[in-house]
Structure 1
Amino acid sequence: MRTDAVRGHLDGLLLAVLEPGPLHGYAIITAVQQRSSGALELRTGTIYPALNRLERLGLLRSSWQSMGERRRRCYQLTETGRRGLAVERTQWQEFTTAIGAVLNPDPSPQGVT
């Protein structure tokens, strides 16, 4: 899938994969890839700036966690992030309904009385 197809929807994707609980960056990339059956492949250069921006907006919070010898920054939704995810889902439904109506119009005759 084209990389630019994700543009405009990245925030919603990131918030959605963090809904079940905290994840570190690579796990976020993997979760998006798995949920999309491999159709969406995010790059680290794409998600980290977005995660930092979402954190500045108060939608996420992060903390450093040790995993063996490594330290990883883990991200999780805030309450504001959960509300933001609900808004993203509503906007996505409205968007897909509108696009679907154009791409797959109802074949029934219009204006027939």
Structure 2
Amino acid sequence: MAKQATEMLKGVLEGIVLAILARRPAYGYEITASLRDRGFSDISEGTIYALLVRIEQRAFVDVEKVPSEKGPPRKVYSLNALGRTQLDEFWRTWSFLSDRLEELRERN
């Protein structure tokens, strides 16, 4: 992925992860796999786990420890009401920015 795309992705990755969690609860590896399935192949698990720590600290998700067949329990993240509010704000901001960018592109 080009440097510019990587930098842009950093700015929206939280919203993308919240959108994934809005569909269903998931644990870190599932989120990373979902991103890769959507073409975000350069995103490392470490990046996702650091982001999950941040959104947990900001109380956007509820966390449940679920037993795992392989190793320690998994932390399953589910979007809560505060997280849904944050995701709604993300989509409003995304719409505003994408509209303005389209206007700029059309004028060139």
TM-score calculated relative to the size of structure 1 = 0.81
Q: Deviations over 1:50-106 (max 9, x none)?
A: 111111111012121113233211111111101111110110011111111112228
Name the structure with the higher helix share.
2
Moved over 3 A (4+): none
Structure 1 match to 2:57: 56
Q: Which stretches in structure 2 are left out of the alignment for 5+ residues?
A: none
How do 1:77-96 and structure 2 match up within 5 A? 77-96=79-98
Distance 2:40 2:74 in 1: 26
Larger Rg: 1
Distance 2:57 2:82 in 1: 12
Could you tell me which of 18, 25, 28 is aligned with 1:25?
Answer: 28
Structure 2 match to 1:109: none
TM-score calculated relative to the size of structure 2 = 0.85
Could you tell me which of 10, 13, 28 is aligned with 1:7?
Answer: 10
Instruction: State the 1:3 CA deviation.
Output: 2.1
Moved more, 67-76 or 85-94: 67-76
Q: Deviations over 1:23-42 (max 9, x none)?
A: 010100111222x3x14542
Q: Which stretches in structure 1 are left out of the alignment for 5+ residues?
A: 107-113
User: Residue type matched to 1:16 in 2?
Assistant: A
SS of 1:67 mapped into structure 2? coil
Distance 2:36 2:91 in 1: 19
Are residue 99 (structure 1) and residue 106 (structure 2) matched?
no
Distance 1:40 1:101 in 2: 30
